[in-house]
Amino acid sequence: MRFDVLTIFPELFCPHLRDGILGRAVKNGILHVKIINIRDFARGTHKTTDDRPFGGGNGMVMKPGPIYRALQSVDRANGSSLVVLLSPQGKAFDQSVAWELATLDQIILICGRYEGVDERIRLICVDSELSIGDYVLSGGELGAMVVMDAVSRLVPGVLGGERSNIEDSFQDGLLEYPQYTRPRVFQGKSVPPVLLSGDHEKIRLWRRKESLKRTLEKRPDLLKNASLDREDKEILAKLRK
């Protein structure tokens, strides 16, 4: 998979692409990431990428020209490619959207700043808009990193374990069950005995029950759209009692 990111702050992405799972996938050639500085495509002595909005108002708006020229410089993949604008007006980004994006060959992410981008960029260039939450950030860079990280985890070969992304929270609409590791006792708290039993079926049932319990307690709204079988519904009925 390939990511092309358009931003006026390319240096923000350096640590994200150097370390951790994403950095390792880039080094191993599983992911290809190109960070494009929109300022390189601005004209004039000062390489200005923003201007005052027509009609007045506070703040500045990113000019369409530099973004358009930056997009024109991107080599499009032979397969499927999507231009995404990070925007508070976009579709809510969640795990199901991440899976959809993971099927693409290339994702081009536009990071807005200030009061946003000129509307003509939306109309001419953008295929989709995504929002990572209902709050205000200084720019789209953090959103782009979130999208890159979540989608990359779903690309074959990026994670070490084949089932790692399958067992993550939200994969089946539920929160993940509690996890434990050594030591067996920490600050007076012991690992649940069932996890030490070696009985795989009992462990599976315990984990499913804890996943349902945690979701019911912390995010009951998720249960409405979760993938639940008869066993899950029976467990939930007992938990609700």
Instruction: Using the predicted structure, report yes or no on whether residue 43 has a pLDDT greater than 80.
Output: yes
Please, which pLDDT band fits residue 33 given cuts at 50, 70 and 90? Answer: very high
Nearest to 6 by CA among 38, 33, 40, 32: 38
B/e letters for 159-168, b = 16+ CB within 10 Å, e = fewer, are beeeeebeeb
Q: Please give the pLDDT value at position 155.
A: 96
Q: Give the pLDDT mean for 215-239.
A: 96
Instruction: Say what percent of the chain tops pLDDT 90.
Output: 92
Q: Please give the pLDDT value at position 77.
A: 87
- Classified as helix, coil or strand, 34 is strand
Q: Which residues are catalytic?
A: 88, 115, 153, 168
Q: What is the tens place of the pLDDT at every residue in 122-158? A: 999 999 999 999 999 999 999 999 999 999 999 999 9
Q: Residues near 16 by Cβ (< 8 Å), separated by ≥ 6?
A: 22, 23, 145, 148, 149
The structural domains of the chain, ordered by start, are 2-152 (3.40.1280.10), 185-240 (1.10.1270.20)
Q: Please give the pLDDT value at position 164.
A: 58
Residue 121 vs residues 48, 71, 142, 183, 213: alpha-carbon distances, Å: 17, 10, 20, 55, 45
Output DSSP code: residue 139: B
Q: Please give the pLDDT value at position 72.
A: 98
Output DSSP code: residue 197: S
CB 142 within 8 Å of CB 178: no
Higher pLDDT, 170 or 208: 208
Nearest to 6 by CA among 77, 67, 89: 67
CB 50 within 8 Å of CB 84: no
Give me the helix-helix angle, 141-152 and 95-102, nearest 10°: 70
Please, which pLDDT band fits residue 186 given cuts at 50, 70 and 90? Answer: very high
Nearest to 21 by CA among 142, 175, 137, 145: 145
Q: Please give the pLDDT value at position 160.
A: 75
Q: Give the pLDDT mean for 167-185.
A: 85
How high does pLDDT run on average in the chain? 94
Instruction: Using the predicted structure, report yes or no on whether residue 42 has a pLDDT greater than 80.
Output: yes
Instruction: Using the predicted structure, report yes or no on whether residue 163 has a pLDDT greater than 90.
Output: no
Q: Please give the pLDDT value at position 170.
A: 64
Q: Please give the pLDDT value at position 166.
A: 58
Q: Please give the pLDDT value at position 2.
A: 97
- Both structure tokens of 128: 């989709």
